[in-house]
Structures are given as C-alpha cells and as structure tokens.
Structure 1
Amino acid sequence: MSKRTLLVLRIAVFIAACAFLYVRLGRDGAGLQRLFAWFTYAHSPWSALVPVVLLMLLNWSIEALKWRVLVREVERMPFVRAFAAVVAGTSIGLITPNRVGEFAGRVLFLRPDHRVRGAFATLLGSIAQFVVTVLVGALFLFLFPLDFVDQEPGALWPVVRWCALLIGGATVFLYFSPGTLERVFLAVPWSRRFERQVRVLGAFGGQRLTVVATLSGLRYAVFTLQFAWLLHTVGAVPWSTACARVPVIFLVTTLIPTTALTELGVRGSVTDTLVSGGDPVGVVVSSILIWAVNIALPALVGSLILLVARIRTESPDAG
C-alpha cells in the first residue's frame, strides 16, 4: 500500500465515520429529543454517565490486551499501540455490517507483511466474543423466561434458545479446534493464496485460546454491567430485570444482521420489546447512551487516530 493510498484511506474513513454518525443521529430525531430532555431534566445525569464512560475505557483496555495476546506470534506490540489500534478499528467497523471491518483498522498498525496473518489471528478473538455472547444469552433465556413467553411472539423464543445453543456449540468447537478452522479456510478456493498466513491459526494452543476466551468473558461482563447500570439509573428498571434482560438483548442484536445506520434502531427496538418494569422513555435513552458511548464516541476518536497515527506502508526490511 503506497503512502498516497494510505492517506486517501485515512481521510475517507474519517469522512465516512462522521457522515454515518450525522446520518444516523439525524434519522433518529425523536430519540435525540428524548436524550436532550433527559440531560436537561435529570437530577444528576453525569452521575449515571461517568461510570459508563469509565467502563468503556476498561472495555477497550481489555480488548487491547486480548488483541496483544492474539497477535503475539505475529508481532510484539506495546499496550498503548494496541489500544490505539482497537479504537481505530471501531471507525472502520462503524461503516461495515455488524462492525466486521474492525479488524481492518487494527491490522493497519502491524507491519505490512504481517497484516494478513494478523487478520486471521484477530478472527479468533471475534469468534471468542461471539461464543460468549451467544452462549450466555441462550443460558439466560433458559434461566429467566421472558414475561410474554406464552404469547406472540413468545412461541419463537424456544426456537431462539435452541438455535443459539446449537450455533454457540458449533462455534465453540471451531474456536477450540483452530486446525479445523484452518482446514475450513483452505477449502475455500480464494483463501488458498493465503495458505502460509492461514497457518497462523494452527499455532494457537489450548492455553492461549483459554486466555483469549477469558478476556472475552471479562469484556462481556463489563459491557453487560454498563447497559444494566444505564437501564437501572436512567430507565428505572429493577437491577434483577436489567441483569436478566441485557444478555438476551445482546444475543438478539448479535444474531440480527445490521449496519451502522440500522444498529441503533434495532438495539432500541429489541430493548423496548424485552425490558419491562421501568420508564419507557428512560429505556430508550439508555439504548441511545450505550450506543453513543460504546460505538459512536470510540469510532469518532478512532477516525482521528487513523488520521494522525504512524502507519507503515512498507516493511523495515523491504527494498
């Protein structure tokens, strides 16, 4: 990748991220009005918001540690650069379906000849996070049946439970059998050109995979606490209800394909449907706040990081 191409990419990502945020927020005028009203009339809005922002920093710090573990065999990376990489990745993730583009922003911080291997290693981290989200969500569906489970669309929830368990179980198998995942990739014709890079998956042993899965679980606990805290403090939802519903909300929103333009609406609709016993307006505001703090703010900061970060266009030993 030439320096000119990289510069164009940086500027394009920054403009696209800003445009997506502008369009997304512009399309949800009613939600913004509710958010501004909450800031205006709430007794102490910052006492609810500051812990969420601090937990967001902890969330991305855990993700940076996880990414360092994932790419350790590819390239050694200081924590600060790893943190910048994962935050920068959110800016590209913002403009891709289900934020699948996050890995692209991260691997730019690796040496050019390490980026493809780094992308495949990063994939295991995404699988680990997916496994935790699906299995915990399915478990909570079994432990805490929804209030309307015997009504429409309640008849669908048993299907969702078992499908989530099956999907989660299959993904667990792939995650802890990276050699199988490697063979799956190599069975796809277009991926054979990256055979040497795909082999990085086979270098992951059980101990390192367990560490990555544990960090994924810690990260999941952090953003579950974030959302439950907002539902309780802003939406007046009882703690027990908030903690029981948040994993199900994450499960449903993970399984529904979304883009940056639809994610906020989908999350808000799912939250409004699944959460009862609180202030409906506060519940909607909680959904907007969690999106703004965990996605919009990091994406905006990440796009700025991409503009100013030192990103190599050729390997040190090139030429």
Structure 2
Amino acid sequence: MTSATSLFSPVEADLHILADNLKQLVGNDHPILSLAAEHLFGAGGKRIRPAIVLLVSRATMHDDITPRHRRLAEITEMIHTASLVHDDVVDESETRRGVDTVHSLFGNRVAVLAGDFLFAQASWYLANLDNLDVVKLLSQVIMDLATGEILQAVNSFDVDISMDTYLQKTYYKTATLFANSSKAAGILSEVSPETAENLYEYGRNLGLAFQIVDDIFDFTSSADTLGKPASSDLKDGHLTAPVIYALEEKPELKTLIEEEFEQAGDLEKALALVEDSKGIQRSRDLAAYHAKLAVEHMSQLPSSPTRQTLIDMADYVLSRLN
C-alpha cells in the first residue's frame, strides 16, 4: 500500500513549513490553550486535508504557490483539529491517534475552550485572506461540522436511517472540509468557475470515500490501528454504511440496536451479524464509487505531477482497506 508520506512527496517541504507555522499561529497569549494546541499539532496524523489544499494549489498555479495558499492549508488543518477536539468531548473519547485527548488531559472545560479558540483563530486568519468567496466557503464548513454533529445525535440508534441521511451526515462531518477547501484553493489560483466546481466535487467525493472507509475500519480494525476503541460507532448508536446495509439482511440486528445493546453480549451479537452480512462489501463498493467520481472530476486540470497525486489519492483512500 502506498503510504501517505510518500504520496505527499510533491508537497513534503510545504507540509514541513505548515507544521512549523501551526504552532506559531496559536501563539503564547493563553498558556493552557497553547499547551493544548501544541499537544494536538504534535500528535501526528497524516495531514491529509492540508496536503490536498497544497496539492490543488500547486496543480492550479503556473508559478509557485502564494502565502495565501499556504495560509488556507493552515486554516484547513486548524478547523479540522478544532472539530476533533469537540468530537472527542461529545464522544467521551480518551485517546485519538494513540495519544491522550485534550479533554482527558486538561478536562472538558479546557477542551471545549481549546476547540473554540482554534475555530476563532481559523476564522480570524480566514478573514485576513481578503477573499469573500473563500471566507464564505470555509465559514460554511464550520456550520456544516456543527450540523453534522447534531444530525448524528438526533439519528442515534435510529434503525430507520436511510443511506441518503447517512451520506448527508457524512458530508457535513467530513466531506465538506475536503470539498470547500479544495474549491477555495482553486479560487485563490483564479481558476474558472467550472474548474472551481470540479475541485469541489473532487473533494466532496474523496471525502465521502475517505469517511466510508473509516466507517468500515470500525468493524475490521483493532483499537491500536484506529487510534480509538474499535466498534465505538455502533456501541454509541451511530449507524454507518455497513450497519445500514446489514439491516436489510438481518432483521434480528434491528432489535439489538433498538434495545441499545442492553443485555450482556448484545453488541458482540450485532457485530457478528454485520460481519456475516454483505454490509462491509457493499460499503467497500460505495467507497469505490465515490473515489471513481473524485478522479473523474480531475480530468479538467492540466496534466502535472501534482494532478496525478490528487488522482492517486483516490487509490490511496481505498488501499487503506487492503
């Protein structure tokens, strides 16, 4: 499997600059929030979202990318990180990427404030890009992230959730940042409206594929691989693609979910039913469908090593399942 590190070699130097800048952007005015942010930005992760912004920037510029492109990549990572901090509080997760979460180290109050702080800083730097279209796109992302969390909460343990609702929630929680930051990078490069729309669709479909693969991992990977407890989505009542498909085949799964796994062993029974269904394979097919759509929206960009890397990203997302 191609690693994210080798895949991002065209923007490797850009990502090193980004890592240094992120810690400087947070500043030292608020020691506890700065400490929390430094812990977050030092926790690893593949930096997939800012890497895509940088790749799109390089694929759409004839000359070198501008400081505004770099700042957009940094803003993208700040928004993503802020959303993770809030997600961990809501989900009561003790670890992420194999390290302690902010709320487990500093408490919920600091974690919520740290997330708010990063969202606020991202918004301030966003405004300073002086591009209203880009401001609108990334502001929409912040609204979408909150909408996705609400949608997930209200559909908890809902066995009647449709695939359309699941994909809508997946867009809000994950794909919106891929989509709108890709389009924003194109706008900073002054691409045509048609190309900007293709960049949006590339990011949207890549983000959907990425999250569907993550949702499959919840059933097929260990806690060490995931960086969080395995099967946590189902346990918390978050019904993802493998479960929605499995419900079509396994009526007994519906009862277990509706009763919220109240008896000992119920969760294990539910997991066995999902694994015994076509749910995981059908979810793989769904992820492959969206990855293919993402690639199709790259065809309008001029041929270049960075465009090829964006195309290869779709294969990388799917290859994580191998």
TM-score strictly above 0.5:
no
TM bin, normalised by shorter chain, reads: 0.3 to 0.5
**Structure of higher RCO (CA pairs closer than 8 Å, 6+ residues apart):** 1
More helix by share: 1
TM-score by length of 1: 0.35
